[in-house]
Chains A and B, each alone.
Chain A
Amino acid sequence: MKTKLTTHLFLLGICILISGCYPYSTAYVDELDLVITDYDPAFTFTGHQNYAIPDSVVKITGNKAAGDPPVFIQPAYSALIINRIKSNMASLGYTLVTDITQANVILFPSALETTYAEYYYDYYYYWGWYYPYGGWYYPYQTVTTYTTGTLLMNMVVAGQTSASGNLHVAWTGLINGVLDYYGGDGDSRLTKAIDQAFTQSSYLHQ
Chain B
Amino acid sequence: MKKIYLIVIALIIFVGRPAKAQEAGSNLVSLQYSVSFSLGDLNDYIKKVSALGILIDYRFMANDNIYAGVELGGNLFYEKKDYASYTRETMTLTGVQWRYVSTMPLIVNVGYVFNPASDFSPYAGIGLGTLYHEVELDVGIYEFTQNQWQFAVKPELGVIYKPMPEIGILLGAKSYNGFKTDNSKAINYIALNIGIVWIE
- A and B: interacting chains: yes
- For the complex with contacts A18-B4, A32-B96, A38-B90, 20 further pairs of A-B residues with Cβ separation under 8 Å are A7-B15, A10-B11, A10-B31, A13-B31, A14-B4, A14-B7, A14-B11, A18-B54, A21-B51, A22-B76, A34-B140, A34-B142, A35-B94, A36-B92, A36-B93, A36-B94, A40-B90, A176-B141, A177-B140, A200-B85
Judging by beta carbons under 8 Å apart, are B7 and A178 in contact? no
Which residues of B approach A to under 8 Å, CB–CB?
Answer: 1, 4, 7-8, 11-12, 15-16, 19, 31, 33, 51-52, 54, 76, 78, 83, 85, 87, 90-96, 98, 138-142, 167, 196, 198
Chain B residues in 8 Å Cβ range of A18: 4, 54
A11 is an interface residue with CB less than 8 A from chain B: yes
Known contacts A35-B94, A36-B92, A39-B90; is-contact A21 B52 (Cβ 8 Å): yes
> Smallest distance from the beta carbon of A22 to chain B beta carbons, Å?
7
Q: Please give, as numbers and ranges, the residues of chain A lying within 8 Å of B96 by CB-CB distance.
A: 31-33
Cβ of B122 to closest chain A Cβ, rounded Å: 24
* Given A21-B52, A148-B141, also A38-B91 (CB < 8 A): yes
Which of A14, A22, A116, A201 has the most C-beta atoms of chain B within 10 angstroms of its own C-beta? A14
Are B139 and A3 in contact (CB-based, < 8 A)? no
CB-CB < 8 A to A17: which residues of B? 31, 33, 54
CB of A181 closer than 8 Å to a CB of B: no
Q: Which residues of A contact B (CB under 8 A)?
A: 3, 6-7, 9-11, 13-14, 17-18, 20-23, 25-26, 31-41, 116, 124, 146, 148, 176-178, 196, 200-201
Distance of B25 from chain A, by nearest CB (Å):
20
Task: Report whether B16 and A3 are in contact in the complex, using a CB–CB cutoff of 8 Å.
Answer: yes
Which residues from A are CB-within-8-Å of B139?
A: 34
Contact of B140 with A176 in the complex, beta carbons under 8 Å? yes
> When chains A and B are docked, how far (Å) is the Cα of A178 from the Cα of B141?
8
* Bound Cα distance A124, B5 (Å): 13
Whether A35 contacts B141 by the Cβ 8 Å rule is: no
Residues of A within 8 A of B141 (CB): 32, 34, 116, 146, 148, 176, 178
Between-chain CB contacts (< 8 Å), 13 pairs: A3-B16, A7-B15, A17-B33, A20-B52, A22-B76, A23-B76, A25-B98, A32-B96, A39-B90, A124-B1, A200-B85, A200-B87, A200-B94
Chain A, residue nearest B16 (CB) = A3
Q: In the bound complex, what is the Cα–Cα distance between A13 and B51 (angstroms)?
A: 15
Chain A residues contacting B142 (CB-CB under 8 Å) are 34
CB proximity of B33 to chain A, nearest CB, Å:
6
Alpha-carbon separation in the docked complex, A144 to B107 (Å):
40
Closest 4 CB pairs of A and B: A34-B140, A35-B94, A34-B95, A31-B96
Contacts of B167 in A (CB 8 A): 6
A10: chain B residues within 8 A (beta carbon): 11, 15, 31, 196, 198
